[in-house]
Amino acid sequence: MDNKHIAIGLLGLGTVGTGIMHIITEHQHKLCKKTGLNEISVKKALVRDLEKANGHGFQSVDYTTDGYEVVTDEDIHVVIEVMGGITLAKELIEKALDQGKHVVTANKDLMALHGEDLLQRAKRNQVELMYEASVAGGIPILRALNDGLSSDQITKIVGIVNGTTNYMLTKMSKEDLSYDEALKEAQEKGFAESDPTSDVGGLDAARKMVILARLGFSTSVELDDVYVRGMTEVTSDDIDYGKKLGYTLKLIGLASKEENGAEVSVEPVFVPDEHPLATVNDEFNAVYVYGDAVGETMFYGPGAGSLPTATAVVSDVVSVIRHLRLGVSANALEDSSTTSLEISDERDVSAKFFVRLHAKDVAGAFESITAVFSKNNVSFEKLIQSPFEQGALAEVVIVTHETTRGDFDQTLEDLKLLDVVTSIKSRYRVEGGTADVLEEQNLALV
Amino acid sequence: MDNKHIAIGLLGLGTVGTGIMHIITEHQHKLCKKTGLNEISVKKALVRDLEKANGHGFQSVDYTTDGYEVVTDEDIHVVIEVMGGITLAKELIEKALDQGKHVVTANKDLMALHGEDLLQRAKRNQVELMYEASVAGGIPILRALNDGLSSDQITKIVGIVNGTTNYMLTKMSKEDLSYDEALKEAQEKGFAESDPTSDVGGLDAARKMVILARLGFSTSVELDDVYVRGMTEVTSDDIDYGKKLGYTLKLIGLASKEENGAEVSVEPVFVPDEHPLATVNDEFNAVYVYGDAVGETMFYGPGAGSLPTATAVVSDVVSVIRHLRLGVSANALEDSSTTSLEISDERDVSAKFFVRLHAKDVAGAFESITAVFSKNNVSFEKLIQSPFEQGALAEVVIVTHETTRGDFDQTLEDLKLLDVVTSIKSRYRVEGGTADVLEEQNLALV
């Protein structure tokens, strides 16, 4: 670089890549002011289709279909990776880091799988690897964890980190759509992929929680450590029961750190209506952070979208350029080694749980059910029993007091063996304080 | 400083100052890891009462009652100001900056009044002045504006930035307390000062909005530029009417930037119940930021409290030390000059408004009232008329369509002159989309 000009290499020119081009072009003045430069430009870009790329009309960018041309260009000091995928993206980033280039990536899959290795490689090469855009695109949450709350001990991170599923759950809750209708609408709006498996199955959220937990707790977390349950089994009936009880159902990513271990999970959870996360609707994301000193903070914003993601990437580029201009890598200061925090057995995780089941309405049925709970040391906080199918069956909804996931799962297994239990319709974790609305609403409590 | 040890000077050892001491002591390991140091210690502290200070039992801190001893100590490289007040704090900070020391302050009054001068002075001395803790203590909002959203154009900042008034409004709304009862409870809980004028009068919020607007828009803003109306006239009746209309009343700080000028205001505003700001309760703060590219983001957390504020201060210290260790001031890179954005005449500000008035229930009363609105080009979005005092009077509540504050104020003046209007009970600005609940609730619409 000369003193007043930085050349960037761009890997990928999809919607995020073109968004980045637009921001760098249109906000050139502000970006230069923030970094003390005269010019920030994209010199070379890896594209799939040269003709299509030329059609965008961006000035003075060399397009190539060979990513190595970008990461080995001597004039380029910062490489942006927004091509997605794992194998090639990883190879190109590794090459860029080894060539002494700083890297900014939006690739959550890659960071979840290989983040630790890549960060160590960046450190060895005395360059920076930034990845704000990989989690909750429009929310500067990694920055908050890394800088804003740097002097605090973070104990818990609770987030809605997948926009597709939050959109679907919002539609199911507010407009009484079925799961299939909600999915269809999410696909029509472009929030859900044609294959929505990684969203509705919870994998996308799990990847983001790995990144958040790793940074928040400075610990080593692998994707396999995450307890994942998607939202594919969620029904409108469950959501309606939640409403009666004062709960909203959300697909929640949770990472918590305790003396004896850590928990990282993604699953549908009932949160009390008054909790700020309950009011995060549509495709928005939010991350709730608990710190020893700061207490509770929440960060809310668009979780995806090409412009929010592009903004996060360019903001990372601004940080990198500032450090670059200062002549030293900030990474070089930090001891970025992670401590290995033991991940608790998922069966030991302590929480409240919700279960909805159908039972025969015969004498002694209720006693057999309660006996199973007692045997497993699980007690009730709330119970609603209502007639079903002209009184032949009873629908029973139970919210437990705090128990372990292991004891709760064992209770469900034991319940299945009872003659009087015809089916277990659903089960969810319940977070946050007791929902006191039950009493107010005078629901039929047994 | 030697290479691996940073000595800090502390101005003030009240609740925030002792909180800082605790964090630096207890999180020493983490702070060192974040900065690559072996030790971060407070060398000297300005206190009011030496005996009381010694009672805290902090090791190896020299206490003094002379602030100049702190800011001129050659071993000290970072000065933290948490003493509060204007005159002496300003003199000490100026001296520290001139001595080449980096400064972190939590002093919003000082930053609102003299922030621009102090930032310029820091720049001249090639040192940093950081002030995250001065706005919404537990929320890293300045960092988000400065770094996380650095590549975006911020167009609007809407915040609940005063915890005392938000606590009072929450109690008035949720527990039907009167203004006086709510104030008393806030004072008992320690949220409100014995003299609550600067909170309930809106001045505290106005100071924070000056700081936010200045940073968010990179523009010059003075306290006098802010339109300020406190919450002293708010009554439970108004809050109840808001509820019927689907609105929550909040003391809102608003800064918006448009082509032809900027607006900065603090006033009680009806926000739709579905808006995230409506769900920010008790003493919590939240700041909503609108960016061209990122869209809407919100940052939520504790607005005050000694530990959240101390956390923000220490996080700023971590940033300063990182830059210090890199050998250059980050400020030195940036062109921090502010552009002068013209502040719009408050009469030209465009918004919806709410007015509640009492009128004689006589023939033609309604026509005279509507005629006054028409004359001033103000049209109704909603109108509720209900009998009052056994039908002798009518209570009329009107929500206008978008109009200017000038036209609305003139309407109120003209209404006062009408014989049929016995009193204008209240008036508020209304933000956000139309509250559609009215129709659903089948309220009596004229």
Known active-site residue B208: yes
Task: Give how far B21 is from chain A: nearest CA, Å.
Answer: 12
Q: Is A226 exposed, middle or buried (0-12, 13-18, 19+ CB in 10 A)?
A: buried
> How many other CB atoms are there within 10 angstroms of residue B230's CB atom?
23
Task: Give how far A146 is from chain B: nearest CA, Å.
Answer: 9
Task: Give how far A320 is from chain B: nearest CA, Å.
Answer: 11
Task: Give how far B112 is from chain A: nearest CA, Å.
Answer: 21
CA distance A142 to A154: 13
Examine the domain organization and report whether A157 and A291 are in the same domain: yes
CA distance A244 to B32: 50
> How many other CB atoms are there within 10 angstroms of residue A57's CB atom?
7
Q: Do B297 and A296 touch (CB under 8 A)?
A: no
Q: What is the pLDDT of residue B436?
A: 40
Instruction: Give the CATH number, domain containing residue B272.
Output: 3.30.360.10
CA separation, residue B134 to residues A220, A286, B112, B219, B256 (Å): 35, 24, 9, 18, 20
Name residue B124's amino acid.
R
Task: Specify if B446 maps to a domain.
Answer: no
Q: Do B296 and A311 touch (CB under 8 A)?
A: no
From the list A151, A281, A333, which residue is nearest B325 (CB)? Answer: A333
Q: What is the pLDDT of residue B220?
A: 85
Q: Do B295 and A138 touch (CB under 8 A)?
A: yes
Q: What is the pLDDT of residue B366?
A: 85
Task: Specify if B381 maps to a domain.
Answer: yes
Examine the domain organization and report whether B156 and B111 are in the same domain: no
Q: What is the pLDDT of residue A333?
A: 53
Q: Do B36 and A323 touch (CB under 8 A)?
A: no
Name residue A233's amino acid.
E
- Dihedral of CA B104/B84/B210/B114: which sign? negative
Q: Do B328 and A327 touch (CB under 8 A)?
A: yes
Interface test with B, best of A37, A147, A319, A331 (most B CBs within 10 A): A147
Annotated active-site residue in A90, A208, A250, A382:
A208
- B273 by DSSP, 3-state: which? coil
Task: Give how far A374 is from chain B: nearest CA, Å.
Answer: 38
Q: Do B34 and A150 touch (CB under 8 A)?
A: yes
Examine the domain organization and report whether B125 and B241 are in the same domain: no
Task: Specify if B310 maps to a domain.
Answer: yes
Examine the domain organization and report whether B193 and B292 are in the same domain: yes
CA separation, residue A95 to residues A88, A92, A103, B322 (Å): 11, 5, 10, 28
Contacts of A18-23 with CB under 8 Å at 24 or more apart are: A18/A56, A18/A306, A19/A306, A19/A307, A19/A309, A19/A310, A19/A311, A19/B293, A20/A80, A20/A82, A20/A310, A20/A313, A20/A314, A21/A56, A21/A58, A21/A61, A22/A310, A23/A307, A23/A310, A23/A311, A23/A314, A23/B151, A23/B152, A23/B293
User: For residues B352 and B402, is the Cβ–Cβ distance under 8 A?
Assistant: yes
Which residues of chain B make contact with A23, given a CB cutoff of 8 A? Answer: 151-152, 293
Bridge partners (DSSP) of residue B219 are B339
Task: Give how far B36 is from chain A: nearest CA, Å.
Answer: 5
CA distance A288 to A404: 23
CA distance B160 to B411: 29
Bridge partners (DSSP) of residue A386 are A395
CA distance A173 to A303: 20
Task: Specify if A32 maps to a domain.
Answer: yes
User: For residues B399 and B426, is the Cβ–Cβ distance under 8 A?
Assistant: no
Examine the domain organization and report whether A71 and A91 are in the same domain: yes
Inter-chain CB pairs, A–B, below 8 Å: 202
DSSP-derived secondary structure for A330-383: GGGTS--PPB-PPBPPGGG-EEEEEEEEEEE--TTHHHHHHHHHHHTT--EEEE
Q: Do B311 and A144 touch (CB under 8 A)?
A: no
CA distance A354 to A338: 36
CA distance A414 to B235: 57
Domain that holds residue A402: 347-441
Annotated active-site residue in B44, B108, B171, B208:
B208
CA separation, residue A298 to residues A141, A160, A285, B23, B381 (Å): 9, 11, 10, 22, 34
Q: What is the pLDDT of residue A435?
A: 39
Examine the domain organization and report whether B188 and B249 are in the same domain: yes
Which residues of chain B make contact with A437, given a CB cutoff of 8 A? Answer: none
Which residues of chain A make contact with B294, given a CB cutoff of 8 A? Answer: 138, 301-302, 307-308, 311-312
Q: Do B335 and A33 touch (CB under 8 A)?
A: yes
From the list A300, A326, A327, which residue is nearest B297 (CB)? Answer: A300
Q: Do B148 and A149 touch (CB under 8 A)?
A: no
Q: What is the pLDDT of residue B30?
A: 83
CA distance A43 to A73: 9
User: For residues A179 and A234, is the Cβ–Cβ distance under 8 A?
Assistant: yes
**What is the number of domains present in chain A?**
3
Task: Specify if B282 maps to a domain.
Answer: yes
Nearest CA in chain A to B319: A147
Examine the domain organization and report whether B29 and B89 are in the same domain: yes
From the list A33, A298, A302, which residue is nearest B334 (CB)? Answer: A33
Examine the domain organization and report whether B272 and B125 are in the same domain: no
Examine the domain organization and report whether A409 and A437 are in the same domain: yes
Which residues neighbour A2 within 8 Å (Cβ) at sequence distance 6 or greater?
none
Nearest CA in chain A to B285: A297
Q: A302 phi and psi, to 5 degrees?
A: -70, 135
Examine the domain organization and report whether B147 and B296 are in the same domain: yes
Q: Is B121 exposed, middle or buried (0-12, 13-18, 19+ CB in 10 A)?
A: middle
pLDDT in tens, chain B (446 residues): 456 899 999 999 999 999 999 999 988 988 888 788 889 999 999 999 999 999 988 988 999 999 999 999 999 999 999 999 999 999 999 999 999 999 999 999 999 999 999 999 998 998 999 999 999 888 889 888 887 777 788 999 999 999 999 999 999 999 999 999 999 999 998 887 788 999 999 999 999 999 999 989 888 889 999 999 999 999 999 999 999 999 999 999 999 998 778 899 999 999 998 888 998 999 999 999 999 888 889 999 988 788 889 999 999 998 888 777 766 555 555 555 567 778 888 899 999 999 999 999 888 888 899 999 999 999 998 888 888 778 788 999 999 999 999 999 999 999 999 999 999 999 999 987 543 433 333 333 33
Q: Do B298 and A299 touch (CB under 8 A)?
A: yes
Q: What is the pLDDT of residue B435?
A: 39
From the list A150, A326, A335, which residue is nearest B36 (CB)? Answer: A335
User: For residues A333 and A402, is the Cβ–Cβ distance under 8 A?
Assistant: no
| Angle formed at CA A241 by CA A237 and CA A247, multiple of 5 degrees | 125
Task: Specify if A337 maps to a domain.
Answer: no
Examine the domain organization and report whether A310 and A269 are in the same domain: no
From the list B36, B132, B305, which residue is nearest A333 (CB)? Answer: B36
DSSP-derived secondary structure for B169-223: HHHHHHS---HHHHHHHHHHTTSS-SS-HHHHTSHHHHHHHHHHHHHHHTB---G
Instruction: Give the CATH number, domain containing residue A377.
Output: 3.30.70.260
Q: What is the pLDDT of residue A205?
A: 96
User: For residues B298 and B159, is the Cβ–Cβ distance under 8 A?
Assistant: no
Which residues of chain B make contact with A304, given a CB cutoff of 8 A? Answer: none
CA distance A322 to A320: 5
Q: Do B334 and A296 touch (CB under 8 A)?
A: no
Tokens of A170: 């919002």
Q: Which residue has the tokens 């809102």?
A: B252
Task: Specify if B129 maps to a domain.
Answer: yes
Q: Do B315 and A153 touch (CB under 8 A)?
A: no
User: Which segments in chain A show pLDDT lower than 50?
Assistant: 1, 434-446
Nearest CA in chain B to A25: B151
Task: Give how far B81 is from chain A: nearest CA, Å.
Answer: 17
Nearest to A89 by CA among A10, A207, A195, A15: A10
Which residues of chain A make contact with B293, given a CB cutoff of 8 A? Answer: 19, 23, 307-308, 310-311
Instruction: Give the CATH number, domain containing residue A58.
Output: 3.40.50.720
Task: Give how far B246 is from chain A: nearest CA, Å.
Answer: 15
* For chain B, counts of helices (H) and of strands (E): 16, 17
CA separation, residue B202 to residues A320, B142, B148, B289 (Å): 39, 21, 28, 20
Nearest CA in chain B to A333: B36
Task: Specify if B287 maps to a domain.
Answer: yes
Interface test with A, best of B6, B147, B154, B319 (most A CBs within 10 A): B147
Strand B247-258 and strand B261-272: the pairing is antiparallel
User: For residues A348 and A402, is the Cβ–Cβ distance under 8 A?
Assistant: no
Interface test with B, best of A135, A152, A157 (most B CBs within 10 A): A152
Which residues of chain B make contact with A147, given a CB cutoff of 8 A? Answer: 140, 143, 147, 315, 318-319
| Angle formed at CA B436 by CA B433 and CA B437, multiple of 5 degrees | 130
Examine the domain organization and report whether B122 and B155 are in the same domain: no
From the list B152, B326, B330, which residue is nearest A311 (CB)? Answer: B152
Which residues of chain B make contact with A143, given a CB cutoff of 8 A? Answer: 140, 143-144, 147-148
From the list B23, B151, B315, which residue is nearest A27 (CB)? Answer: B151
Tokens of A318: 């601004």
- A444 by DSSP, 3-state: which? coil
- B3 by DSSP, 3-state: which? coil
Task: Give how far A324 is from chain B: nearest CA, Å.
Answer: 11
Nearest to A134 by CA among A73, A182, A198, A84: A84
Q: Do B299 and A299 touch (CB under 8 A)?
A: yes
